[in-house]
Amino acid sequence: MLRVVYLTAFLISLGNIAMLLTIAKKQRCFYYLLIFFLITISSFGTLVIGDTDSLDVALLGNFITYFGAVYIPFCGFLAIAELCGVRVTKAHIFSALLVNALMLLLVWSSVAGRTFYYSEVSLIKIAGVSCLAVEPGQFRWVYTAYLFLYILSTLIVIVKAFINKHNISYKNIFACIILEIIAFVAYILSRHFNIQWEWINIAYILAEFVMLYLVYRICKYDVSEIVASSIEDFQEYGYMIFDEKLNYLGCNPLIKNIFPEIAHVRVDKPIEPMDYSFIPKALEWLKECVETGKSEHLYLEHGRQILKCSFKELNFGLFGRLSGYIVEVVDDTKQQKYMKLLANYNAQLEQEVNEKVEHIKIMQDRIILGMAEAVEGRDGETGGHVKRTSDGVRIFVEALKRLNKDMTFTTHFCEKVIKAAPMHDLGKIAVDDNILKKPGIFTPEEYEQMKCHPTVGGEMVKKVLAGLEDDELMNITRNVAQYHHERWDGKGYPKGLKGEEIPVEARIMALVDVFDTLVSERRYKAGMSCEEAFKIIEESLGTQFDPKLGKYFLMCRKEFEDYYNTI
């Protein structure tokens, strides 16, 4: 059974060395690796003792075991001093190595047959496994003093770091204390309770597991090593490290230069946002990124600087699981000023383009209106028809929006119908002057020619507006020009559309166009009163005009009467 314990301890020590190398990767772990090798050597010594029948071989195995037992406290002290930021001078290291050599010479004296360390020594069998039975010599106390010296020195370093150092993890300090407790308990058990070496090996294995955890923790705090493995120019970037619970772990020197107050932040603790100007937004942003999985950049103003923050997950260690987050901070002032300058330039350019476009639209409107007035001017008796119908459409459309809250006409649609109204008779440009200016009633042949003007008007609108305006305006204007003589009962022209087959903008235009024709004086007729015109339109609802639209048109009677009384 004891042989199995010795062998198992030896194999576990070898396995822990491999695990240490896997966890540490590129991080510095020299002292811990040395400790693991010394524990393996010590475990090998106990294996030699347990598997021999020779006292000399057993004493040699005991010396091998002590070789590890002497240097393990020394390496452990150096590892903890490095972790706590305590500098150990070369003189101290040299003195300690000299003491270690003297300690080993004292143990070797037992191999040489001297009684300085052991006064008596014999080889006994327990459960079929060899063990050394010893009586302490006059200098056996030296090793006890040696151990207590290292334990005391290490505790002093730990307490000092605990009290004075803000940048030392309490969890790491606690792990160091656990190591000291394991070493102390193992020694007390072996010296004063006659516990055999197998229990010392078990203590070593426990210490290795604690050190594996400690190295894993150290890897998380070693900001420079983590960052250096992923970037080439480390000096231009600032980095802050947080664990998976967003507790602060550390930062690189550039962050300390930008935010000196970060030196007072405790590691392994959440950062208190009320104490630091830049951190509240950064922490809120980081929490949101973690919760939503988004990785958008955060821009912070710090004095005259504009800092760009980004983050990524950290996955390292034996199983490569999520271990924390790294926040990268870079001075993006020049880039942001350039982007702002570019945005201002684009805004100015956009304003100039909009002004040019607006100017083109005004010119276009004037050209189109001029064409409509030129067509209208061919017939002296119909002068002002374009303006009156345009104003009439505006009055009617505004009344529709006011009176009918359920109508689906958008503001843009209404504006485009008003804009299209002057072009409803554009097709008359193709009608012969003899017909257009005829003072009497048209003959059937002349009427057929006159009925062609809506189709011609639609085609002209398409050619004039194509490429100069949006498609919606072109379609509305074309419909107004081409279909404003269609009738609700299908007896209109040019296509004989009926009901809702007629575009609604053409139905609106038809009401206003006919009303103006009725109240205006022409060569072949006198103008009638608004009252008579409204009566004719009312009688024509459902036959010539859309009854629903016509109802609202009749409700505009006062507005139309007021308008026509002023012209």
DSSP string over 162-214: HHH-SSS-HHHHHHHHHHHHHHHHHHHHHHHS---HHHHHHHHHHHHHHHHHH
The number of angstroms, rounded, from the C-alpha of 462 to the middle of its chain's C-alpha atoms is 49
- Termini Cα distance of the chain: 122
3-state secondary structure (DSSP) of residue 2: helix
The sheet with strand 322-331 has its strands ordered as 248-251, 238-243, 322-331, 305-315, 298-302
What is the enclosing helix (H) or strand (E) of 102?
A: helix 90-111
Lowest mean pLDDT among 152-166, 218-232, 294-308, 500-514: 218-232
Lookup: tokens for 278: 């830049």
Give the pLDDT band (50/70/90) at residue 265: confident
Q: Is the pLDDT of residue 319 over 90?
A: no
Residue 169's nearest CA partner among 215, 127, 100 is 215
For 270-316, how does the pLDDT look when each residue is reduced to its tens digit (9 = 90+)?
777 555 556 667 777 777 877 777 767 787 777 777 788 887 787 65
Residue 420's nearest CA partner among 500, 503, 478 is 478
- Distance CA(425)–CA(379), nearest Å, equals 12
Give the pLDDT band (50/70/90) at residue 497: very high
Determine phi and psi for 427, rounding to 5 degrees: -70, -15
Q: Where are the alpha helices (DSSP H) in 259-317?
A: 279-292
Q: Which residues are CB-neighbours of 394 under 8 A, at least 6 positions away?
A: 418, 421
- Distance CA(175)–CA(157), nearest Å, equals 14
- Distance CA(64)–CA(387), nearest Å, equals 115
Distances (CA, A) of 203 to 38, 154, 250, 339: 14, 18, 32, 62
3-state secondary structure (DSSP) of residue 305: strand
As a 3-state breakdown, the chain gives helix, strand, coil percent values, each rounded to 5, of 65, 10, 25
Place of tokens 């040299």: 94
Q: Is the pLDDT of residue 327 over 60?
A: yes
In terms of pLDDT, which residue wins out, 404 or 427? 427
Predicted local confidence at residue 232, as pLDDT:
40
Determine phi and psi for 525, rounding to 5 degrees: -165, 160
- Distance CA(22)–CA(29), nearest Å, equals 11
In terms of pLDDT, which residue wins out, 526 or 547? 547
DSSP string, 133-151: EEEE-TTTHHHHHHHHHHH
- Distance CA(71)–CA(147), nearest Å, equals 10
Predicted local confidence at residue 51, as pLDDT:
81
In terms of pLDDT, which residue wins out, 476 or 271? 476
Predicted local confidence at residue 224, as pLDDT:
46
Q: Report the predicted TM-score, pTM, of the whole model to 2 decimal places.
A: 0.45
CATH topology of domain 374-565: Hypothetical protein af1432 (1.10.3210)
Mean pLDDT to the nearest integer, 258-263? 77
In terms of pLDDT, which residue wins out, 396 or 46? 396
- Beta carbons within 10 angstroms of residue 362's beta carbon: 10
- Distance CA(36)–CA(14), nearest Å, equals 8
Give the pLDDT band (50/70/90) at residue 2: low
Residue 511's nearest CA partner among 468, 473, 476, 541 is 541
CATH topology of domain 224-331: Beta-Lactamase (3.30.450)
Residue 33's nearest CA partner among 269, 233, 214 is 214
- Distance CA(255)–CA(363), nearest Å, equals 60
3-state secondary structure (DSSP) of residue 407: coil
What is the percent of the chain with per-residue pLDDT over 90, rounded to a whole number?
9
C-beta of residue 372 within 8 angstroms of C-beta of residue 426: yes
CATH class of the structural domain 2-220: mainly alpha
Average pLDDT taken over every residue of the chain: 78
What is the percent of the chain with per-residue pLDDT over 70, rounded to a whole number?
79
Predicted local confidence at residue 511, as pLDDT:
93
Mean pLDDT to the nearest integer, 486-504? 91
Give the pLDDT band (50/70/90) at residue 50: confident
What is the enclosing helix (H) or strand (E) of 243?
A: strand 238-243
Per-residue burial over 244-262, b if 16 or more Cβ lie within 10 Å, else e, is: eeebbbbbbebbeebbeeb
Q: Is the pLDDT of residue 507 over 90?
A: yes
- Helix/strand/coil (H/E/C) assignment for every residue in 8-67: HHHHHHHHHHHHHHHHHCCCCCHHHHHHHHHHHHHHHHHHHHHCCCCHHHHHHHHHHHHH
| Torsion, Cα of 5, 7, 10, 11 (10° steps) | -110
Q: Where are the domains of the chain?
A: 2-220, 224-331, 374-565
